[in-house]
């Protein structure tokens, strides 16, 4: 796999060493058991896979290359390069400005962007409408290579489905940049609709089977279906693609349910291809590996879990969901959230608010902690969390004794 040139302030010598040790005996990275960092009073179960993925490293390298190659020029990002505040702040400190926020709200009017400016596409890609605007403005320095190749894989799959006469069902968060971009590309090639979860899959099935009147479709999917969408025509043949950062099981469950719906409604046998496109997993490898690593980590006992990442990071939020189902879990963006051994500031994914919890560390010897991070989290943030946690017990990271379960 390609080695990327990542700025030194994102790297961690400690984490690099741990990953190298694991890879020595597991070149194919198929052993998903956690690394056990034994500090005596504290034992940390570090997930086998976490941190920067290929797409994120590619985006970060491209952004810094754009800065290096264009001294003196104004440099803009369409929105956050990835969903991590540490990385985005670092780029802003380099003079990069964001044209929109992650919700697509304008921060800098398009009228202020000139043809001699530099524009970087985020890892999530962008819509065809924005691509058209960039071309219309004649901007020559547009860095498209910062797009994640796994996102482009989804776009390719959507195009293949549409070309064969299937309607594209996009499973994703409708307001997420990646889903907005995927929907924009898929609807340019054929009928498309975005569904966010299994509840909306059930709703879509009601329209497929005629349990709900076609006239009601717009009430539920307005702004999330292609122009001129015809329920009677466009829900006879469907195929599913997904936002790459979702829970793999959720997308598979939705695809299986819709496949079964088409089989029952159209009285099909084992072969449903006349009405349902064969499902090809379009989740990125890092999303799958990080989730599987957490699942395996949760097989080990621990007193609590800490997940590090941006609060608007989809893939990180799903790691939190997995951990929360098993034990007390704290979602933090950096070591600053660890105020003391008695106080932690953490993000609640249900209420979407910051919470403060007191006495979060059980009085145990040794204390056992599960630790992981999302695909957009630099390794240095994990090292900082370990260092801060250890400081509460008078320990340092130099006392590390690494072993594998």
**SS3 track for the chain:** CCCCCCCHHHCCHHHHHHHHHHHHCCCCCCCCCCEEEECCCEEEEECCCCCCCHHHHHHHHHHHHHHHHCCCCCEEECCCCCCCHHHHHHHHHCCCEECECCCCCECCCHHHCCCCCEEECCCCCCCHHHHHHHHHCCCCEEEHHHCCHHHHHHHHHHHHHHHCCCEEEEECCCCCHHHHHHHHHHHCCCCEEEECCHHHHHHHHHHHCCCCCHHHHHHHHCCCECCCCCHHHHCCCEEEEECCCCCHHHHHHHHHHHHHHHHHHCCCCCCCCCCECCCCCCCCHHHHHHHHHHHHHCCCCCCEEEEECCCCCHHHHHHHHHHHCCCCEEEECCHHHECCCCEEEEEECCCCEEEEEECCCCCCCCEEEEEEECCCCCHHHHHHHHHHHHHCCCCCHHHCEEEEC
> Which residues touch 308 (CB under 8 Å, ≥6 apart)?
316, 332, 333, 334, 371, 372, 373, 374, 377, 381, 382, 385
Out of 61, 178, 200, 321, the active site residue is 178
Determine whether 178 is an active site residue: yes
Residue given tokens 């803009």 in the structure block: 76
- Residues identified as active-site: 178
């Amino acid at each position: 796999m390609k080695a990327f040139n990542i700025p030194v302030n994102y790297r961690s010598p400690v984490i690099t060493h741990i990953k190298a040790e694991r890879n020595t005996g597991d070149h194919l990275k198929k052993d998903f058991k956690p690394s056990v960092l034994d500090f005596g009073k504290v034992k940390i179960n570090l997930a086998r896979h976490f941190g920067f993925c290929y797409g994120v490293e590619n985006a970060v390298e491209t952004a810094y290359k754009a800065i290096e190659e264009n001294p003196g020029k104004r440099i803009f990002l369409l929105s956050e390069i990835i969903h991590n505040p540490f990385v985005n702040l670092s780029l802003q400190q380099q003079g990069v400005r964001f044209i929109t926020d992650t919700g697509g709200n304008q921060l800098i009017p398009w009228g202020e962007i000139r043809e001699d400016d530099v524009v970087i596409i985020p890892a999530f890609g962008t819509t065809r409408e924005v691509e058209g605007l960039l071309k219309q403005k004649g901007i020559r320095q547009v860095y498209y290579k910062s797009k994640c190749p796994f996102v482009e894989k989804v776009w390719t799959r959507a195009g293949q489905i549409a070309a064969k006469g299937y309607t594209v069902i996009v499973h994703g968060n409708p307001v997420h940049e990646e889903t907005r971009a995927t929907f924009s590309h898929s609807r340019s090639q054929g009928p498309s609709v975005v569904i966010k979860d299994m509840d909306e899959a059930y709703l879509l099935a009601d329209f497929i089977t005629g349990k709900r009147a076609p006239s009601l479709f717009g009430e539920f999917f307005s702004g999330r279906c292609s122009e001129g969408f015809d329920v009677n025509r466009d829900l006879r043949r469907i195929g599913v693609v997904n936002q790459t950062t979702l829970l793999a099981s959720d997308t598979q469950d939705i695809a299986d349910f819709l496949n079964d719906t088409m089989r029952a409604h159209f009285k099909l046998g084992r072969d449903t291809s006349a009405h349902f496109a064969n499902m090809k997993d379009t989740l990125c490898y890092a999303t799958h590996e990080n989730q599987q690593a957490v699942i395996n980590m949760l097989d080990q006992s621990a007193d609590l879990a800490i997940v590090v990442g941006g609060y608007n990071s989809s893939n990180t939020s799903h790691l939190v969901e997995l951990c929360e189902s098993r034990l007390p879990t704290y979602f933090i963006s950096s070591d600053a959230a660890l105020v003391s051994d008695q106080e932690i500031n953490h993000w609640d994914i249900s209420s979407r608010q910051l919470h403060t919890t007191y006495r979060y560390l059980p009085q145990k010897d040794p204390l056992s902690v599960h630790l992981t991070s999302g695909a957009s989290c630099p390794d240095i943030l994990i090292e900082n969390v370990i260092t801060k946690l250890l400081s509460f017990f008078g320990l340092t990271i130099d006392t590390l004794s690494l072993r594998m379960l």
